Amino acid sequence: MDEMSGCVKSLLDNDEELLQAAVDTLLKIAENILKDPSNEKFRSVNLSSSVVEQKLIPAIGALEVLFLMGFEEGNDKLILPKDDPLTNLRTYRQQLLKLKQERLKRSPTTAKGSVSNILTPELQERELKLRSNLINEFERVLIYESPAIQEKARHIMPVQDLHERARSKLSAINKEVRKDEKPMDFQDCVLVELLAWFKNDFFKWFDSPTCQQCHCQMTAEGSKPPTEDDHAWGGSRVEGYCCKDCGTVDRFVRYNHPSKLLETRQGRCGEWANCFTLLCRTLGMDARYVHDYTDHVWTEVYSQSQGRWLHADCCENKLDNPLMYEHGWGKKLTYIFAFSKDEVVDVTWRYTTKQNEVLKRRNDCRETWLVSTLRDINKQRQAAFSEAKRHFLEYRLVSEIAEFFASNRTLKESENEGRCSGSLSWRLARGETQAMGNSSYTFQLKQEEIEKKEFMVKYSSARDEYMRVSAGEVIKGWHAGIKSAKDIIRKHETDWKMVYITRRERSSIGEISWIVDWSNTGLKAASILIVFQHATFENGSVTWQLCTGDKCFLGNKEGVLELTEGDLQHETTKLELSAHLSNGQGENAWQQAQLFRQSDSSLDQFPFLIHIKYY
């Protein structure tokens, strides 16, 4: 078993029935080719066939084995090139035979699958409930096709302005595209602008209402009964609120009708994605509503230029960052379905790099049942479609499935960031901020620093890492060493070859802070030196503040702040340094206040430093 590849070994993570079916199907494909190598029929695999849909696609590792054998993407299938020497195919056939001999002869009770294939009454009930939910959601998204609602949306959106912004940015954006990347088209740029406008100018996040009498936050009081008018707009859930000071009560209706949301313009992720998907359809984009069963929703838009579906989260103003939920928010994903007017697709695999872990958590149905059910639901919807349209949808789905299992997933920096929508307490409660992992970091003295009576950390934007000099430690990523950040990103200008920390696009204010705590060492600070280089353009502004105990000091224009023993209180045991980024002019105002700007080749320069000496 040691010489087996990781993909072949991963087949063992399937339940016994699916394992046997996948291995037998793969072996049959390989043996047919070896028996008659010149037969083109044997050298192609139609991913939309019932055998492949039921026996290979649901199985962990199965499609990966096909690619390792030498298969490549074709128009609507996987194809083994005519000139392939069949060396890899023979190798993986031998590995599959060995796996079958050593594993499949064992008792079925040793299988490790995600959910048993034995159809118990409990499992049957879960499958019926899941099918009902899928059908109801599939029917609901048809409301986005209403001409009347789209016309209402079209009058609200600044369509001309969005188009003008997209045209002005199209050429500039494509100048930064690498040679190995596909350039964006006009629709892609419109989507970028729509996301920013929706997040910053149109829709508002709702946490809790403010009391109209006392002007303070009201407290949740549980659910309230919906009225007939609430029901008319899909508002079956109503939240009650009460002011603890004056007793004023209020209610928040969770409307599920996009036409109503065009008027209320507030809510949480459900309302946001519901309304945003409507706007995408109104602009002619091929868009679908995405439901993550671990409690989040967003949109996907098909990009003609990229030839694939793009993840678009309007709550976060994030585009094409599908791994952010698993890696940035720390979600334990299970099922993620995408619903459009044409089809419903299980898109879970676009959003994870941990397929084996996810599959073991999927206990609401059998995987083969899910593939069959989705196929049947889609066939019913597409029965009246033209043959050409059905063929197009089938081809696109095949390409999407191949993307799920064949692409090399590289985690982007932006996918490692926590959630920014909603109050901090709400995000923390859901475990969807980096404060649960890499951020909310406090520098505490290590033994080497205590012995040297010195703490020194410096940060390089070019390296994107902190160097903790006295302790000989390197911390990767700007976010890994901060206490907190709001609407802050690291920006790399590939045309100017500059890199820096700045605000998110269209954000009016950005905040970031760091903490050093030596309270458990018994040491007292003798001096503190802070170097905080920054750059501003137009009327962009950066304000620095250093607090030690109950004394705070503002930074100066020189970017250097030095405190001696006389400036420090005797009982000072920690410091907090914060930067506030604001102002700027025009649509690029967010870029006009920058921290730690430097050339991307200046790997030996550190524009940020905290140096503390103790006694």
Catalytic residues: 269, 296, 313
Q: Which two tokens stand for residue 391?
A: 């063929």
DSSP summary character for residue 145 = G
Cα dihedral sign, 209-212-216-220:
negative
Residue type, 69: M
Q: Which of 96, 115, 93 is nearest to 104 (CA)?
A: 96
Residue 200: alpha-carbon gap to chain centroid: 19
Task: Please tell me the distance from the alpha carbon of residue 471 to that of residue 523, in angstroms, as a whole number.
Answer: 17
Task: Please tell me the distance from the alpha carbon of residue 478 to that of residue 466, in angstroms, as a whole number.
Answer: 7
What Cα–Cα distance (Å) separates residue 319 from each residue in 170, 485, 486, 507?
16, 20, 18, 16
Task: Please tell me the distance from the alpha carbon of residue 488 to that of residue 507, in angstroms, as a whole number.
Answer: 9
| Residue 286 near residue 308, CB atoms below 8 Å | no
Burial of 231 (0-12, 13-18, 19+ CB in 10 A): exposed
Place of tokens 């049957």: 124
Strands of 249-253's sheet in order across: 219-224, 238-242, 249-253
Residue type, 200: N
Other beta carbons less than 10 A from residue 116's beta carbon: 15
| Residue 238 near residue 230, CB atoms below 8 Å | yes
Q: Which of 477, 511, 475, 474 is nearest to 593 (CA)?
A: 511
Residue 125: alpha-carbon gap to chain centroid: 31
